[in-house]
Chain A
Amino acid sequence: MIEELSHEQILRYSRHLLMPEVGLQGQIKLKNSSALIIGTGGLGAPTALYLAAAGVGRIGLVDYDVVDESNLQRQVIHGTSTIGKLKVESARNRLLDLNPDIQVDVYNEPFTSENALRIAKDYDVILDGTDNFPTRYLANDAAVFLGKPNVYASIFRFEGQVSVFDARTGPCYRCLFPEPPPPGLVPSCAEGGVLGILPGTVGTLQSTEALKIMLGIGEPLIGRLLLYNALDMTFDFVKLKKNPKCRICGPNADVKELIDYQEFCGVPGHHEDDTSAGADWDISPQELKSRLELDPNLILLDVREPHELEIAAIAGAKNIPLGEVAQRMSELDSAEEMVVFCKRGSRSARAIEILSSAGFKKMKNLKGGINAWAEEVDQSLPLY
């Protein structure tokens, strides 16, 4: 337990010390506080940077990915020089450069039901900056079981959500979202895109909430959900109540321990391909190349958005964006064989589901989408 600050620390944190809401005692509180940041990507980047700069004594980072060029449009904690390096290592180096006064503990592993409680139990606040539903439900449930606040933020395209879920005094994530959407119904950022600055805005709001909790000041976003839209530049708030039927924090809760969250969310395991509509539908880029050599008139259906065609396209493909497939299927002939594709394969899988339920049978899903095609067949196309 640290009880005073050094002269160097007083100088470093002087802008905090000047405010009575923080002051010397508040800064000492931060020095003795700890925050676990799950995910060191779009949201984790600003939250980790600002919490480190603010002097939070111990920061934990969970991630097992490596830095990729396509991350750098928004994940500002990493850099061109750290491409290919572990994200947690890249982030730790940057944080310690920003503030050598803090401790950064890294967990280069997936956050799972096996390790979540062990990792999270020693932290005061959990920040959920993950990118997928299974880990969001896991982070929530772990926070509920450990009796810790879960500072939640989520982003998509131009839109963000922020709240503080603390089941001791308010609702939890499951109170608002009792069940995850089925896979494929909600597009991912990798498919749908995200404005690079959006996680910056939303992540700094998230870290503001975490800092307030550690300091014990202000009104935390407990029982309120902030909805931010960058395009419209709107901030809306709605009220959240504890759900009496909540399976984890309600009076009749029946979830008593961490579960299999991938099964709960209906998604494949860690190393399986999420972008497949099922092996029966799949066609690999190489197979498609061979098929096209035999049958140049094979119908190709591109279900990406029109602006994506400017980035990369396969000549001769018909474009019907996924959102219009249901209305425009009359333009397609169910008697003809057809290969459906998108960027990585998940939107085309959804399109195949839609067409299949309308009676289309002769369809294939290009496994890995146009990106896999660009990697394996046509290297003149860029990856995006």
Chain B
Amino acid sequence: MTTLRIPTPLRAYTGGNADITVSGEKVSDALNDLARQYPAIKTHLFGEDGELRPFVNLFVGESNIRDLQGVDTPIREGERLMIIPSIAGGSLIPSLTGEG
């Protein structure tokens, strides 16, 4: 069992929950468990090819799985998983309203 931290933009798909308990020895198992519990989040994490979307960053402890073994990265006891999303601030058009 490990905790997976959901960032604010994706909490709409986890019933507002920030920390989800997932099981699995590898990152892929934990993600599959998350998708089982919250099917709506699946399209936000995985592309149609079943691969993790390139704009989704997943960290195990302090390290990006991209710098480790990708979704095959093992999860050690007590390590927390964290999804780090792209957030831009205000709008998707370059309005430069400086919303943040």
Contacts and interface: CB of A to CB of B under 8 A. Distances in A.
Contacts of A38: 96
A155 B93 contact: no
Contacts of B12: 321-323
Contacts of B43: 326
A21 B39 CA distance: 52
Nearest to A129: B98
B91 A190 contact: yes
B99 A189 contact: yes
Counting contact residues on chain B (CB < 8 A from A), the size range is 35 or more
Contact of A156 (B57, B64, B89, B96): B89
Interface string A225-239: 101010010001111
Interface string A198-217: 11001000000000000000
Given A41-B97, A156-B8, A177 B55 contact: yes
Interface in B56-100: 57, 59, 62-64, 66-67, 82, 84-100
A132 B84 contact: no
A333 to B, nearest CB: 21
A195 to B, nearest CB: 10
A133 B88 contact: yes
Contacts of A60: none
A188 interface: yes
Counting contact residues on chain A (CB < 8 A from B), the size range is 35 or more
Nearest to B43: A326
A65 to B, nearest CB: 4
Given A159-B87, A192-B9, A237-B62, A42 B99 contact: yes
A261 B88 CA distance: 14
Nearest to A271: B93
Contacts of B94: 110-112, 130, 132, 134-135, 261-262, 267, 270
Contact of B89 (A87, A155, A225): A155
Contact of B87 (A154, A179, A241, A321): A154
Q: B interface, by DSSP: helix, strand, loop or mixed? A: loop
Contacts of B63: 238-239
Interface in B2-49: 5, 7-9, 12-13, 18, 39-40, 43-44
B50 interface: no
Contact of A194 (B18, B54, B66, B99): B99
Contacts of B85: 181, 186
Interface in A215-259: 225, 227, 229, 232, 236-241, 243
A181 B84 contact: no
Given A181-B85, A323-B13, A326-B43, 10 more contacts: A42-B89, A62-B96, A130-B94, A131-B90, A179-B54, A181-B55, A187-B9, A188-B99, A238-B62, A238-B84
18 contacts: A62-B96, A65-B95, A65-B96, A71-B97, A129-B100, A132-B90, A132-B96, A133-B92, A154-B100, A155-B100, A157-B8, A161-B87, A180-B55, A188-B88, A240-B64, A261-B94, A274-B91, A326-B40
